[in-house]
Amino acid sequence: MSNYIFTLDDGGEIPVVIESKRGAKNIILRPKTSGEFEIHISKPYLVPESNAVRFLESKRKWVNMIFARAPKKCPICDGDEIEFLNRRVCIKRSPGVRSNSLIKNADGTWTLLVGGTPDMFERRVRDVIKAELLKEIKNIIRTTPREFWPSRIALRDTTSRWGSCSSTGTMSFSWRLAFAPVSVMRYVVMHELSHKKHMDHSPAFWRQVTELYGFGVERAKRWLTQNGASLHRYF
């Protein structure tokens, strides 16, 4: 595995990870635009790395377009206000606090007190958001019949899907759904629960989604299609 830096036309520098894989037949380029921006290249074991670099350069116009369209990352700082799970939350660093504390204020807004050192600030904020999302997902699942309940729930940071359901009953969700309206996050949950009965996207599957979700399912689905990229703006 080797690492390079690819300089975009606007001056931005993107780390490049090149991996050699036995059995691979072609050079495959995968830009990563969630979390830390990266470019991953897989190449056949015997192909020189210089070939992979030339291939990347030949795709310069496309790569520039991908990263130009990617949502710009917004750093989280002491005193910032962000929205997650339909809550407006002011985040304050409080070094004397031993554990993070999410407090509902009298006016209906929220305050998140975050302890620890400055280098732990964003990670602690992210941990709170994940924990709150997991609680909300579990609450939603409890409103459905037990036959739809998963055997296990996991939170991931995925770029290509918001949720998944394995044949063993494990359901995974993107933790970034916390930044979507709760009605949209609920749609993803009902979508994956429906796969307990239909491991496809047949008409019967979509009828099941509508039955579990109720009125407004198409609106929630449309919102995610149109605004999903914005859920990656933080961290």
Q: Which of 20, 19, 6, 1 is nearest to 59 (CA)?
A: 6
Tokens 């709760």 map to which residue?
182
pLDDT at 35 over 70: no
Decide if 91 contacts 79 (C-beta within 8 A).
Answer: yes
Listed ranges 38-42, 46-50, 164-168, 189-193; the one with the highest mean pLDDT: 189-193
Least confident among 20-24, 103-107, 173-177? 20-24
pLDDT value of position 34 = 66
- Distances 59 to 52, 127, 222 between C-alpha atoms, Å: 11, 37, 31
For residue range 176-193, list pLDDT tens digits in order: 999 999 999 999 999 999
Tell me 160's DSSP state: S
Whole-structure pTM value: 0.75
CATH topology of domain 81-232: Zincin-like (3.30.2010)
Decide if 231 contacts 180 (C-beta within 8 A).
Answer: yes
pLDDT at 36 over 80: no
pLDDT value of position 96 = 83
pLDDT value of position 160 = 67
Domain with CATH 3.30.2010.10 in the chain: 81-232
pLDDT value of position 12 = 83
pLDDT at 1 over 80: no
pLDDT value of position 95 = 87
**CA atoms lying within 13 Å on the CB side of residue 26:** 4
Question: How far apart (Å, rounded) are the C-alpha atoms in residues 112 and 102?
Answer: 4
Higher pLDDT, 209 or 72: 209
Query: Which token pair is 206?
Result: 């979509």
pLDDT category at 195 given cuts 50, 70, 90 is: very high
- Distances 14 to 63, 95, 197 between C-alpha atoms, Å: 10, 33, 42
Cα–chain-centroid distance for residue 99?
25
